Structure 1
Amino acid sequence: MSLLAKHLCKHNNCSSLVNILKKRNLTTNPIVAVEQGKLKGAASKLLDGSEYYSFKGIPYAQPPIRDLRFKAPLPPKSWDGVYEATKHGPVCPQLNTITAKVIEGNEDCLYLNVYTKSLAPSDKLPVMVFIHGGALMSGSGNSDAYGPDFLLQHDVILVTLNYRLEVLGFLNLDIPEVPGNAGMKDQVAALKWVKSNIAKFGGDPDNITLIGESASAAGVTSHMISSMSKGLFNKAIAQSGTVMDDWMRNRDSQARAFRLGKVLGKDTDNPVDLLKFLQSVPATNFAGSTLKIRTFEESNRGGPILFTPIVEKDFGNVEPFLNVDPVNAIASGNVSKIPVLTGYNSLEAIMMIGTIRKKAEFRSKNPDYLVPKEIVFNNVSAEKLKEFGNRIKKFYVGDGEFNDDTIEAQIHMLSDYHYTYSINRFTYLYSKTDQPIYNYVLDYNSDMNLFKKMLKVKHIKGMCHAEDQFYLFSNKSTTDIYKAQENIRNMVYTLTKLWTNFAKTSDPTPDESLGVKWNPYTPSGKEYLHIGEPLRMGHAANSERVEFWNQLFRDAGLPHVISSKNN
């Protein structure tokens, strides 16, 4: 209790004062009773000076260790006494994809964090559950990257979480014990915990928005398809990714597991024997396995993600996370019909500048490796693949080559390949349901675009992949910039206001306070919001480039593309 509170207690009813302080969210060490026991959190201040509570490192499942490695998570156990929830739990073992260093972490990493300005169940604050990106290979929900300051200013609850990554989270042996998707089932377990407990933190369990960026945006849209996730969230925000993205395409996952075993010292074609061996390997040995076991095809076509969600085999007594083809599910409306907000940054593939330069000569000589996996998996002939590859090259660089003179054209090409087309395609197909879907292109350049600065390409106009995160979440890298520059504070406010409006009302612009009305996407109008200075509505984002890829998919005989007609 503060010195002021102690002084007041001498002259007033102290118990009454404590109640007043609790109502004003000034309790120093808040205690919340959840289903598993009591949690002790901490009180902190946001950048705007307002108070909030944090509860960090809350276990939402049993540790997936020893015999539980690679398997679906089990519900968390109860505890006696008061659980200290003032520090983040361990991060999952991983390879840092920026520094290329192994982060040891701990397999016991299934923890989540809750940030709230109220603990009164009657307040029923909207809940935003954020799943971190990182190519399903790296990252955590910790506040060193995903601080709550920017979002909580709008009176919502933020939940962040860890889930198992790469091999530990997405190994598939095609047997009932390890059917795949363990990392996605971790996320389901976290959503179940939130649904059951968030009211104790002042949240509304019937108003939960699931948010993801990049690979986790693809995960969010996977949750929309999964029967396992049904009813656990009410809205979805998918930033720079959907389940239809080419880098989410996965097959031959059991063969990949056998290659992994061989690299680690077990050459076998028996999945049960392989499971026993892999459960004995130190967890850190799995970090970066993707880079160690890629085939030539996997290294040169598509994104650098091999361990991803898969369509599981039917084992009868094993509940699958995903058991239908995602594209067919979305096209047929076999999804959770909820309000959706989705879009992408204006020049995503700036993030790939190193790979663009490294592979320029190879791609010039072998443009057929620019053909998406979805087309390749459709049994298109080698001759046709060569034709498609040459069409792609011609569209972006004309008679030129992939070299330093055509860097920006290559960035546009890979932005479209990995993000622009698939997100527009997803938006079009989902708009056929009876639920609103809001589409955007985020295009803002400032000192907060830290990845462009790190990559030494600040001169290229456009927002790089993952730079949207700097405007939604506070962290040590952005706080000083945010405090110093009013234009950045204004953009942070605008973006977080749009996102939290959507979480609150299913409409990002329920009033005219931001000076624009963001209308949902329709098949005829293809509406989208250009998020920059100023905000403005548009139609058919990147239409010429989207139609190029659309025609390529048509010519490959693939169904479920964007109709060129106004319907």
Structure 2
Amino acid sequence: MTPINLWRAYLYKAQWAESPEISVAQGRLRGSVEQLYNGTPYYSFKGIPYAEPPVGKLRFKSPQPPTPWTGVLEAVEHGKVCPQVEMFSGRFLEGSEDCLFLNVYTTSLQEKKPVMVFIHGGAFVSGSGDSELFGPHYLLEKDVVLVTINYRLEVLGFLCLDTEEVPGNAGMRDQVAALKWVQENIAQFGGDPNNVTLFGESAGSVSVNHHVLSPLSRGLFHKAIMQSGVALNDWAIGHDGKERAIRAAKVLGKDITDPNELLSFFQTVPAKDLVLMTFKTVTMDEKHRCLPIHFCPVVEKTFDNVKPFLNDTPLNIVLQNKAANVPLMVGYNTSEGIMFIRLFLKKLDFILKNFQYKVPRELAQKVSESVQKEFGERIRKFYFGDKDISKDTQAIISLESDFHFVYGVHRLAHFVSQHNNSTYLYTFNTQSDLNIMKNVIMGVPEVAGASHVDELFYLFSTNMTADTYRGQEDARQKVDVMTKLWTDFAKTGNPTPDDSLGVKWRPYSQSSGEYLSIDEKLTSGKFADRERVEFWNKLYAEAGLPCITKSHL
């Protein structure tokens, strides 16, 4: 090696040997240097506070700007998560109400890279942006800056009293505060504040859709990716927030209805006692018809001194073309319903006698009880015919997928594409040892398709998948394809801007319903799951609800 190259190698080594320090608006941060699987070093900044701790009198309130600090803040470990119970293990995580932190990962502090901000799922009751599930190794290889965030969950994030003080959506306002922090500070991490893509999965995907609809989020991002969840899904919007708060207070031993008294009471309740209140406040109809997601985004009442996060129903905002006109990617996994097989079979006796509860709430509220029963019977016959339901696993999966995800995604793509010619629809059917939800958590590797959550393991590194990724060329190739689609969209607004993947993903149009199937091979097509979508569309049309016009199916 020449003396010049030796000197360059020494400088490179010295650059990465030291813990990086940068300045943000609130003070100085010290991160750490980590390494991607391919050996490339990257900078990691964890546990950065993006808002004032929402504790004491700030509980349930909109997030306040973070207080500047003196000295250097060590940003080498994740901040506390919101109090919660882990969704699949059932383990209680005490966490902390002081949980409004974000994490930033980048391979350069000097460049101007596209920024991808991820919002985690978890039914608005669990989850965090921590690298245990959302490691940056795959995405950073594609030359982007990655940001992951925490936000307040369940009662702490979504209590609604229909008052100026607590109009609801505190957790969504947390996300807005994080996006504002990104606009103000991301250039210090080598990110471009004028090229920010917001993406999320499940409840995080619904969150992304709500930001596309919200006037508070306008201008804070420039593209959006929605994975397995949209604002038109039945579980994506809360109902009767104040009445739910009254029921929650009663569960906790306080029979009161005055909103000021409710606020005073809830501010005294230990945070751990507010965990899982979603399940303790359901109505009989919600127990059997809906997913257990009820402390979640709501349409706010109008007040003079409060700018609403959501000022109308998602359907109205979309139909009236009041959503942000940014490039959109939206889709679902082919067997989302794998995650619900056990619950369906557990309730099978009840379902067989009451199939009308498989009619979505939006439909049920529009038709009589007798029509609900008729619709329920038509749903049963369409999916199961005369088969033994308990043995028809694939039909259960299709029903639960369509009921909770698929039709809502198609409906949104159809409505949005009328005004937005950069709407891209996908179905995800990739299968390998990386499908952790299907193979490991649900334990049904023999079932066809990709489960809810499975696509995340092709976008984010985790301890569960590190050995598979390192040891299997097939897995690495599939991750490479998936991350290229996502990051090319983040960079350009087009997921296939060149011919390198051998396919052209064309925008969705109402006339052709274009979509991309992400499978062993990438293939383009028209009208994904057409027969099933057409079935639900007919029910919605008969109920007089806005739907995909028949001429477009």
Q: TM-score band, normalised by the shorter chain?
A: over 0.9
Deviations 1:309-349 (A, max 9, x none): 00000011011100011011112211000000110001001
1:27 positional shift: 4.9
Q: Secondary structure at the match of 1:56?
A: strand
Match for 1:386: what amino acid?
K
Give the Å deviation of 1:284.
1.0
Partner residue, 1:112: 102
Name the amino acid aligned to 2:338.
I
The 5 Å alignment of 1:89-488 reads: 89-120=79-110, 123-378=111-366, 380-400=367-387, 402=389, 404-453=390-439, 454-488=441-475
Taking structure 1 as the reference length, what is the TM-score of the superposition? Answer: 0.95
Contact 1:25 1:119 in 2 (8 A): no
Give the Cα separation in 2 of the matches to 1:244 and 1:270. Answer: 32
1:48 corresponds to: 38
Aligned-pair distance for 1:563? 1.6
Unaligned runs of 5+ in 2: none
Give, in whole Å, the separation in 2 of the partners of 1:315 and 1:102: 37
- Residue 140 (structure 1) shift: 0.3
Aligned to 2:524, the other structure's residue is in SS state: strand
Match of 1:477, SS state, is: coil
3-state SS of 2:82 partner: coil
Q: Separation in 2 of the partners of 1:511 and 1:27?
A: 37
In structure 2, the residue matched to 1:563 is 549
Query: How far did 1:451 drift?
Result: 1.5
Q: Which amino acid aligns with 2:501?
A: L
Match of 1:191, as an amino acid?
A: L
Q: How many Å separate the matches in 2 of 1:270 and 1:328?
A: 31
Q: Distance in 1 between matches of 2:457 and 2:551?
A: 38
1:29 aligns with 2:15: no
Secondary structure in structure 2 of the residue aligned to 1:476: coil
Q: How many residues align?
A: 549
Partner-residue secondary structure (3-state), 1:522: coil
1:138-174 deviation line (CA, Å, top 9, x unaligned): 0000000100001000010000000000111011011
CA contact (8 A) 2:421 2:508 kept: no
**Cα pair 1:25 1:51 within 8 Å, conserved:** no
Alpha-carbon separation, structure 2, partners of 1:91 and 1:310: 23
8 Å CA contact 1:364–1:401 kept in 2: the answer is no
Aligned to 1:3: none
Of 48, 53, 58, which residue of structure 2 is paired with 1:68? Answer: 58
Matched residues, percent identical?
Answer: 50
For residue 401 of structure 1, report the CA deviation from its aligned partner: 5.0
Counterpart CA distance in 2 for 1:25 and 1:523 is: 52
Secondary structure, counterpart of 2:295 in structure 1 = coil
CA distance in 2, matches of 1:78, 1:518: 45
- Residue 249 of structure 1 contacts residue 374 of structure 1 at CA under 8 Å; is this kept in 2? no
| AA in 2 matched with 1:176 | E
* Separation (CA, whole Å) in 1 of partners of 2:338 and 2:420: 35
How far does residue 177 in structure 1 lie from its aligned partner after superposition?
Answer: 0.8
SS across alignment from 1:341: strand
Question: 1:351 aligns to what SS in structure 2?
Answer: helix
| Runs of 4+ displaced beyond 3 Å | none
Note the 1:79-98 alignment, pairs <5 A.
79-98=69-88
Q: In structure 2, how many angstroms separate the alpha carbons of the residues matched to 1:180 and 1:462?
A: 37
How far apart, CA to CA, are the structure 2 residues paired with 1:434 and 1:483? 40
In the other structure, the counterpart of 2:487 is 500
State the secondary structure of the residue aligned to 1:134: coil
Q: For residues 353-383 of structure 1, what are the alpha-carbon distances to aligned partners after superposition, in whole Å with 9 as ceiling and x for unaligned? A: 11111111111100110110111233x2111
The code of the aligned residue for 2:417 comes to S
Amino acid at match of 1:310: V
- Whether contact under 8 Å (2:421, 2:507) holds in the other structure is no
CA contact (8 A) 1:114 1:160 kept: yes
Report the secondary structure of 1:317's partner residue: coil
| Alpha-carbon distance between aligned partners in 1 of 2:83 and 2:249, rounded to the nearest angstrom | 18
Q: Deviations over 1:62-111 (max 9, x none)?
A: 00001011111001111111111111000110111112222100000000
Deviation at 1:297, TM superposition (A): 1.0
Counterpart code for 1:513: S
Correspondence for 1:38 = 28
Rounded Cα–Cα distance in structure 2 between residues aligned with 1:129 and 1:479 = 23
Which of residues 534, 540, 546 in structure 1 aligns to 2:521? 534
Q: Which moves more between the two structures, 241-250 or 231-240? A: 241-250
Task: Tell me the amino acid that sits aligned with residue 301 of structure 1.
Answer: R
Q: Is the 8 A contact 1:31 1:40 kept in 2?
A: yes
Per the TM alignment, residue 406 of structure 1 is displaced from its structure 2 partner at its CA by 2.1
Q: Tell whether the 8 Å contact from 2:249 to 2:262 is kept in structure 1 after alignment.
A: yes
- Of residues 504, 508, 511, the one that matches 1:521 is 508
Aligned to 1:246, the other structure's residue is in SS state coil
Q: Unpaired runs of 5+ in structure 1? A: 1-6
Q: Give the C-alpha shift of residue 293 in structure 1.
A: 1.9
Q: Is 1:338–1:435's contact at 8 Å kept on the other side of the alignment? A: no
**C-alpha distance in structure 2 between counterparts of 1:456 and 1:118, whole Å:** 40
Q: How far apart are residue 457 of structure 1 and its match? A: 1.1
Q: TM-score, normalised by structure 2?
A: 0.97
C-alpha distance in 2 between matches for 1:540 and 1:221 = 22
Q: Is the 8 A contact 1:34 1:197 kept in 2?
A: yes
CA contact (8 A) 2:421 2:509 kept: no
Q: What do you get for the CA RMSD once the two structures are aligned?
A: 1.7
Q: What residue is the counterpart of 1:4 in the other structure?
A: none
